[in-house]
Structure formats: structure tokens, C-alpha cells
């Protein structure tokens, strides 16, 4: 198919996510036709270094032979069968592998050994919210009917997930439709809502969280957070101790802790799961994105035995969890995920990250010196560069200027594919990226920030 026709069809038929289509219709889009390692090739034959892992999903690089073969082998046997009253082999094997991985990685509480499948991060969160609520109902505790979440939090785009979201730009318009939740201040040190400075503040935002939980614990089902990094809110990296303290608060006031590791899971923070850094085991964890290396849609909501057992009973007790999706536990997706988890072991992916994490840290320190860079934030292989009009006052650029967007558009001219969060430049390449390519990525970002901010 020729490029001109594809662009015409795209603009005529596709409504792109998180995109102002009026602007889109005036621009020429990139059409990707091939991926290899950490690179994407467009229809013109130009290769781009994938600096955001194709929206944070690619871990091991594009076209990994092991995953290709796993999916091909599975499609020769079975493409799909339902998990409603039936099983399939890949979903069983993957559930066992994930349960063992979670138990080994997060050994500080009750093991997360029960796996509920869905197909994306939003649905994983919806399932977590419903499980958490019904857990209390099944025990005869009906007062618990609200959730606590964080400002600038993001948990997906379905109505339940939006109800516990806190990104005003994304969520404000839907407020009349949403279930009520309670929002606590985000541990966003650069723009602290409490006007304090870390570490002299003593993590005061955690004290604010305790006030909220203490005053409302009888009606709070759970606290839901993205542990250590609030990604879609602007790569907000938490101060040390916040997550550990939050786990202790949930224990103290008898509310569940839901960890949304959709973006942070599978090695992104330098550990398999972000919760490992502060030795926290949540009651429920949500996983997606990197689970299949971007090959197929798949998500997991994992819970402990205590929660699972609360749903066991006679039919007439109506304790069943009435939730499911048509493609739950899809064999092709599960086969891809099994192969992806094997690559972690075979390639020693996590063991090879420290030099890359250190390189990223050092290059960010250089970028932090630029006159229009207000803050740089990093956890493992996740980084955000916040651009500001005034470094001293932290005054942001006007949204109308689209400064972050201008930076990434220029980077694309130099063969680096990025997507910003407003004026935060996101760096989240595949974990397999070489040090040479990581350095190139950051040099291009630095140069583009200088060029755009000096205009």
C-alpha cells in the first residue's frame, strides 16, 4: 500500500487516542512498518530509536525471536478459548510462573498467588477495585465503599479507573460520571502542594495521607497507588520511605493496598517490581504493559489467598466474583508472556541494568543544568525531564506553546522517537538498549531542548 493512500485512510477513518485530531489532520504522521531491537522503521525507510518503548510496553526489543516463535507455535495449536468454565495450557503455565515470580520478588507479606486475567491496564485496575470492594462485602462489612488515591495519579481510562485518577487534564470533564474517591496530596517534591522541601519536610505528604485514612478508614475499601513513580502524571518519583510508610498505614487502619504496577512492573525501576525497593507486598497488584513485550494485549490482577478465600462459598451465598472478558487468558498473549519472562532469566536483564541506570543518571545531571530544565526525575530506567519557562521561580511554559511537543518533534527529525507528557520529556527505552544507544538518545534530547528553548 502506498504512503499517500494510507495517510488518507488514517485521517478519514482513525480517531487516535490522547490526540487533538484537528491538529493531527494538518500534520503528516509517521507510519511504522517494521521493528528491530530498539528501533522502528517508517514507511519512508527511516529508522528511529524507540525512546519510549512504544508507549512503555517494549522490554526486550522489537521482534525478539523467542517471542516470535512462541506466538507462531501457539497459533498453530489454539488461537483462543474462553476461561469461563474452561482452561487453556498457556494461561495455566503463565499463572504458575507469575505466582512464583511475585512470591519470590515480594516476600514481605502474604504471597500474591491468585491470578485474574484481563487485557489492559485499565481493566486490571477495574478488577482490582471490584475485588477489593467485594472482599469486604463478602465478609458482611458494608460501610466500606470508597477509595483513597493520589492527586496526579493515573490508573487508566475506564470509568472506575478514572474515578481513582487525579490528572485534571484527563479526568476533569468526566467528574459527573465518577464514583466518589478521596484524593491525597501527591509526593511531588518539585511542586509540593504543601509548599515544603524534602527531606526537611519529614515526608509531610505521608502525614496528610494518614489524616485522610484515619478520618475515613471505616469507609475506605483500599488505597490505590502507582508505587514509586506516578508515570502519566509527569514521571513523579516519590521520596524514599513514602511507599513503606503507606503500607504501614494500610496495616494500621485495616484498609487494602492496591499497587498499580502496570507501568512500573517488569524491570522498569531496576527491580522486577517497584514495590521491591521498599520491601512492600501489596494486597493486590495490577500488571500489564511489559508483560508480553508489547506483542499482545494482556493484563493481570494478582491477589493473596486471604482475599481469594473471601470469595469462596455456596452458590446461594452469592460470593462469586461476577467479572470476566471475552479475551481473558488468551493463549497467544499468554504464550508471548511466558517467553518474555524466560528472556528475563536467559538474558539476565535485571542484572545488566546498573551500568545503564548509572549512565542515565549522569546524563540527566548534565541536562539538569540547562536553563529551561526545572527538574529531572529518575527511578531505574524511567526518567522525566520537566521543562519550565523560569528555572528560578519554576514557572511553567504555557500549554498553548506546546514546548514539550516541539522538543519531541525535533528529536524525531534526528531519528529519536519520543512522546511527552505536556512539558515533561519522558525517557523510557527498552531495557535491552545498549549504553551507546542510550547515550545517543540523551544527547539528542539535550540538543533538542537547547534548540527549542533558545528560540
The secondary structure of 129-140 as a DSSP string is: HHHHHHHHHTTT
Per the annotation, does 324 bind a ligand?
yes
Exposure string for 328-364, b = 16+ CB within 10 A, e = fewer: bbbbbbbbbbbbbbebbeeeebbeebeebbeebeebb
The secondary structure of 366-398 as a DSSP string is: HHHTSTTEEEEEEETTEEEEEE-SBTTTTBPPP
Per the annotation, does 325 bind a ligand?
yes
- The whole-angstrom separation of Cα 425 and Cα 402 is 12
Contact indicator for 415, 48 with CB cutoff of 8 Å: yes
Per the annotation, does 289 bind a ligand?
yes
Per the annotation, does 122 bind a ligand?
yes
DSSP 175: G
Helix (H, G, I), strand (E, B) or coil at 11: helix
Is the C-alpha dihedral spanning 315, 318, 319, 325 positive or negative? positive
Is the C-alpha dihedral spanning 289, 290, 293, 298 positive or negative? negative
> Dihedral through CA 332, CA 336, CA 341, CA 347, nearest 10?
160
Contact indicator for 35, 62 with CB cutoff of 8 Å: yes
Per the annotation, does 326 bind a ligand?
yes
Per the annotation, does 154 bind a ligand?
yes
The residues, any chain, with a CB within 8 Å of residue 153's CB and separated by 6 or more, are 164, 165, 166, 167, 183, 186, 224, 225, 226, 230, 233
Per the annotation, does 348 bind a ligand?
no
Per the annotation, does 419 bind a ligand?
yes
Binding residues for pyridoxal 5'-phosphate: 121-122, 260, 325-326
Binding residues: 121-122, 154, 260, 289, 324-326, 419
Binding residues for substrate: 154, 289, 324, 419
Amino acid at each position: 500500500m502506498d504512503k499517500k493512500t494510507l495517510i488518507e485512510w488514517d485521517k478519514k477513518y482513525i480517531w487516535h487516542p490522547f490526540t487533538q485530531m484537528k491538529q493531527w489532520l494538518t500534520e503528516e504522521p509517521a507510519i511504522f512498518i517494521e521493528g528491530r531491537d530498539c528501533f522502528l522503521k517508517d514507511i519512508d525507510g527511516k529508522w528511529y530509536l524507540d525512546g519510549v518503548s512504544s508507549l512503555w510496553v517494549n522490554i526486550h526489543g522489537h521482534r525478539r525471536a523467542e517471542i516470535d516463535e512462541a506466538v507462531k507455535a501457539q497459533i498453530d495449536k489454539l488461537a483462543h478459548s474462553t476461561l469461563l468454565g474452561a482452561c487453556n495450557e498457556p494461561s495455566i503455565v503463565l499463572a504458575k510462573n507469575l505466582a512464583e515470580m511475585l512470591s519470590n520478588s515480594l516476600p514481605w507479606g502474604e504471597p500474591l498467588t491468585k491470578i485474574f486475567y484481563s487485557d489492559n491496564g485499565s481493566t486490571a485496575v477495574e478488577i482490582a477495585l471490584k475485588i477489593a470492594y467485594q472482599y469486604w462485602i463478602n465478609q458482611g462489612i458494608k460501610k466500606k465503599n470508597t477509595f483513597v488515591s493520589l492527586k496526579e495519579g493515573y490508573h487508566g481510562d475506564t470509568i472506575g479507573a478514572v474515578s481513582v485518577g487525579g490528572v485534571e487534564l484527563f479526568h476533569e470533564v468526566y467528574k459527573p460520571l465518577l464514583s466518589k474517591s478521596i484524593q491525597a496530596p501527591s509526593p511531588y517534591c518539585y511542586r509540593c502542594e504543601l509548599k515544603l522541601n524534602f527531606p526537611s519536610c519529614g515526608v509531610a505528604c505521608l502525614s496528610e495521607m494518614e489524616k485522610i485514612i484515619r478520618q475515613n478508614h471505616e469507609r475506605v475499601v483500599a488505597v490505590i497507588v502507582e508505587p514509586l513513580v506516578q508515570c502519566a502524571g509527569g514521571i513523579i518519583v516519590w521520596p524514599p520511605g513514602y511507599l513503606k510508610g503507606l503500607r504501614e498505614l494500610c496495616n494500621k487502619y485495616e484498609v487494602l493496598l492496591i499497587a498499580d504496577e502496570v507501568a512500573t512492573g517488569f524491570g522498569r525501576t531496576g527491580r522486577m517490581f517497584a514495590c521491591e525497593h521498599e520491601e512492600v507486598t501489596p494486597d493486590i497488584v495490577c500488571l500489564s504493559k511489559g508483560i508480553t513485550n508489547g506483542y499482545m494485549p494482556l493484563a493481570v490482577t494478582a491477589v493473596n489467598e486471604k482475599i481469594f478465600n473471601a470469595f469462596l462459598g455456596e452458590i446461594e451465598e452469592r460470593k462469586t466474583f461476577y467479572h470476566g472478558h471475552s479475551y481473558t487468558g488468551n493463549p497467544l498473549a499468554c504464550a508471548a508472556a511466558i517467553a518474555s519472562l524466560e528472556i528475563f532469566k536467559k538474558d539476565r536483564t535485571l542484572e545488566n541494568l546498573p551500568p545503564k541506570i548509572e549512565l542515565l543518571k549522569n546524563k540527566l545531571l548534565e541536562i539538569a543544568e540547562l536553563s529551561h530544565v526545572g527538574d529531572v526525575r529518575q527511578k531505574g530506567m524511567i526518567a522525566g525531564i520537566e521543562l519550565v519557562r523560569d528555572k528560578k521561580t519554576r514557572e511553567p511554559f504555557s500549554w498553548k506553546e506546546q514546548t514539550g511537543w516541539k522538543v519531541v518533534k525535533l528529536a524525531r527529525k534526528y531519528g529519536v522517537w519520543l512522546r511527552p507528557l505536556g512539558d515533561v520529556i519522558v525517557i523510557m527505552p527498552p531495557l535491552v538498549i545498549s549504553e551507546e544507544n542510550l547515550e545517543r538518545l540523551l544527547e539528542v534530547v539535550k540538543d533538542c531542548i537547547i534548540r527549542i528553548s533558545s528560540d
